[in-house]
């Protein structure tokens, strides 16, 4: 019994001595993120790029019935950028003690498509009927701007400010990756094949 214990002590000591003398282990290489990821152009006019993967076979899941919510708080829209599925309601709210309004312009033809006043604690829903980009403003407070993108595809994400994007849970198949940017010259379309768990795309070039 006594011998056994000291043997264990020796083994532990030699293991310590060994690890102290070794060079630090190299950092394991980070696994690529799961999903479709990569780089898109950087922000324009304060809005980051949006990446949408449109499936070649039109069948996708139906839009969620619960609304996508955009609140007003601290003289700002929250969130400032919102993705909504076509057919999914958008709910606007006003969580502060000031009166606001919400004014939506559809970007492709610059038409005013929605306007409503929001007293404190008001909430109201609207279904936006066209896919594409909508500019959001509060006409009372010129600094309040936001952006909504209505997409037919469930596979969409805004890029980070450095252009990095990640769209998780994309089933294998053929897609068109569409890049929307406030600067029209930075928009583009790229054919994409999704096969494994991770697909890396460079969408920084326009074509
Ligand atoms: Cu306002």
In contact, 204 and 40? CB cutoff 8 Å: yes
CA of 116 from ligand 1 middle (Å) equals 11
CA of 79 from ligand 1 middle (Å) equals 14
CA of 157 from ligand 1 middle (Å) equals 27
**What confidence category does residue 5 fall into, taking pLDDT thresholds of 50, 70 and 90?**
very low
CA of 100 from ligand 1 middle (Å) equals 4
Shortest CA distance to 172 belongs to which of 191, 154, 195, 190?
Answer: 195
Burial class of residue 34, CB neighbours in 10 A (0-12, 13-18, 19+)? middle
The DSSP-derived string for 132-146 is EEEEEEETTEEEEEE
Q: For all residues of the chain together, what is the average pLDDT?
A: 89
CA of 38 from ligand 1 middle (Å) equals 36
CA of 140 from ligand 1 middle (Å) equals 5
The predicted-structure confidence for 33-73, as pLDDT tens digits, reads as follows: 899 999 999 999 999 999 999 999 877 789 999 999 999 99
E strand or H helix that includes residue 198? strand 198-202
CA of 69 from ligand 1 middle (Å) equals 16
CA of 149 from ligand 1 middle (Å) equals 21
CA of 45 from ligand 1 middle (Å) equals 20
CA of 17 from ligand 1 middle (Å) equals 66
CA of 180 from ligand 1 middle (Å) equals 27
CA of 179 from ligand 1 middle (Å) equals 30
> What span, in angstroms and rounded, lies between the C-alpha atoms of 113 and 159?
26
Burial class of residue 205, CB neighbours in 10 A (0-12, 13-18, 19+)? exposed
Mean pLDDT of 168-183: 95
CA of 151 from ligand 1 middle (Å) equals 26
Which distant-in-sequence residues (6+ apart) come within 8 Å of 95 by Cβ? 71, 72, 73, 120, 121
Q: Where are the alpha helices (DSSP H) in the chain?
A: 2-21
pTM of the model: 0.83
Shortest CA distance to 197 belongs to which of 168, 158, 163, 159?
Answer: 168
Domain boundaries, the chain: 35-202
CA of 43 from ligand 1 middle (Å) equals 24
CATH of domain 35-202: 2.60.40.420
User: What tokens does 141 get?
Assistant: 């407070």
The predicted-structure confidence for 106-129, as pLDDT tens digits, reads as follows: 999 999 999 999 999 999 999 999
Quick check: 98 pLDDT over 70? yes
The DSSP-derived string for 113-137 is EEEEEE-TT-EEEE---S-EEEEEE
């Amino acid at each position: 019994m006594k011998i056994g214990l000291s043997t264990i002590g020796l083994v532990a000591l030699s293991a310590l001595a060994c690890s102290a003398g070794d060079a630090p282990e190299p950092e394991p290489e980070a696994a690529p993120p799961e999903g479709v990821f990569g780089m898109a152009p950087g922000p324009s006019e304060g809005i980051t790029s949006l990446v949408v993967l449109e499936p070649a076979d039109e069948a996708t899941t139906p839009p969620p019935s619960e609304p996508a919510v955009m609140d007003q708080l601290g003289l700002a829209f929250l969130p400032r950028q919102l993705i909504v599925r076509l057919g999914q309601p958008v709910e606007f709210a006003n969580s502060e003690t000031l009166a606001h309004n919400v004014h939506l312009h559809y970007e492709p033809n610059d038409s005013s498509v929605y306007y409503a006043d929001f007293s404190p604690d008001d909430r109201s829903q609207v279904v936006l009927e066209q896919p594409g980009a909508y500019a959001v403003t509060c006409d009372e407070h010129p600094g309040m701007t936001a952006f909504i993108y209505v997409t037919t595809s469930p596979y969409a994400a805004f890029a980070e400010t450095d252009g990095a994007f990640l769209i998780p849970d994309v089933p294998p198949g053929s897609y068109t990756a569409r890049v929307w940017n406030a600067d029209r010259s930075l928009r583009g379309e790229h054919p994409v094949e999704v096969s494994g768990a991770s697909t890396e795309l460079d969408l920084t070039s326009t074509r």
